[in-house]
Structure 1
Amino acid sequence: MSIHTDMKRLSRLSAILLQLQTKRLVNANDLAEKFAVSVRTIYRDIRVLEQTGVPIASIEGKGYALAEGYKIPPVMFTEQEANALITAQQLINLNKDSSLIDTYKTAVDKVKAVLNYTVKDKVELLSKRVAVSPASLEQPTSSSLTAIQNALTSFTVLRMSYRAEGKNDSSERLIEPFAFYYSMQQHWTLIAFCRLRNDFRMFRLDRIEAVYPTDFKFAPHQLSLQEYLQEKEKNFTAPDKQLS
């Protein structure tokens, strides 16, 4: 086996390990397609990882997962990956939700913490050489994005105070967060199942006055985001109008 082949396999093993670290389940067929190898090769790669001491659980008919509680040492970011995150931070600052801005800054700080000194100095230099026009920056107009994200992924019902366009008073709703959509008007929009209307509705985040988690859970909706958007294209209604 050539050195080139060995290096290629080592790179693939590292990538598979990263997939196992970031996903609850990985499927052999998906991995084979991703790395352009046979499923049999993926089976061999999994065995190699197991032989090196990585506890991989095989779940029949579903795929592979890291054993519960097993932790892989922090991923070391390359200089290019760190640069991409630093540059993206300036774009994140353009969005209008303060919770997302703050959370992304914390995440970038954690990335910087695991960089080696040489890359850390380069990233620090780059962060001082990337800027967004002040004319593009506006004060954040919402602060609920990350709280809603948490509810969406944990299937928690939210109690929401919402003020629709053209209305002076806000209304109280129980909603089941479904997805987010960033509109051409540069507004984050929440797509959620409204229990009052018994249907999906779209809510602009800058019109959400408050959100509170409840003790209620909801079953995951079978509808996909793509299916929802395709349906909306057929019969489009402006977000605030859907609250009538």
Structure 2
Amino acid sequence: MNRIDRLTAILTHLQSKRTVRASELATRFGVSLRTIYRDVRSLEESGVPIIGEAGQGYSLVEGYRLPPIMFTKEEALSMLVAEKLVEKSLGEQSSKFFKEALIKIKAVLKSSEKDLLVEVQDTIQVLKSNPSQVMDKSSKAFHTVLEAISMKKVLLGSYVTFDPEKKTERELEPVGMFHSFEQWYLIAYCRLRNDYRTFRLDRFSKLEVSEISYSTAKHPTLKSYLDQVSAEQKLHQIILKVPDGAMKYLANSKYNYGFVSEERVGDITEITFMNSSIEGFVRWVISLSDLVVVKQPLILRNRLAELIEEIKTMQG
């Protein structure tokens, strides 16, 4: 961030709170306290009425207001994503207040940014949200996809499949993104496969926007595509807790039941599956019921208990 941008951001930050400490500004902008002191002095010399109180921090004179703030395209798109996530993460009342506040923020956007939000808003959906894991290493790919969608440009990417682990080069016409099962996914028309495919964003080792344009008119909307998939196949997220000694019994068979990922927690491995059939899954996992624990969902745990009782009755 150059100095002009930092001065503007400091001024915006000062207006957002009653008082702001110099150490808070230094941390936010990754600069030294001396730099902050110098920046604040420059703002004062330019006529901004800043009050500095020893031990308290800086504040703006009551009544001083900035003119409407201009947002960048990336910042405007980030607001749209935040709105989608908050809608799923907060209660109805809090979500309502957030949306009302966001409307006021959107009011100061330039016309081009407003048009962009209207055009892109239907290409992002949040089906299920875990606020602590909505973004991580997918972040860079996420913003690259948003840029491609907004510009109607083909994506060029190197995608690594899970099993077998294999890298392929893809040319993708993005339809949209959705968040579910703690991951962001891209729906796109794959020119390599000549069909629509779903890609996990964190599996792209490289992703960039090309100069090749594509028409959105020939593609379904994200909502209609997801509705179709949902009607064809309802997926359940299943998590099993497996001790070290039992992992060998799942090593090969797990791939037949929608294996997604595994995470080490102490001497236990939590394995995540996505499977459309609770009944089919429970009849596999019952053969491992003395070795594994079903963490979720509750419907699977209950069905497993019922099936064990049915077996007892039949054998008794």
Higher RCO structure (Cα 8 Å, ≥6 apart): 1
Structure label with greater radius of gyration: 2
In the superposition, the TM-score normalised over structure 2's length comes to 0.37
TM-score by length of structure 1 reads: 0.47
The structure in which a higher percent of residues are strand is 2
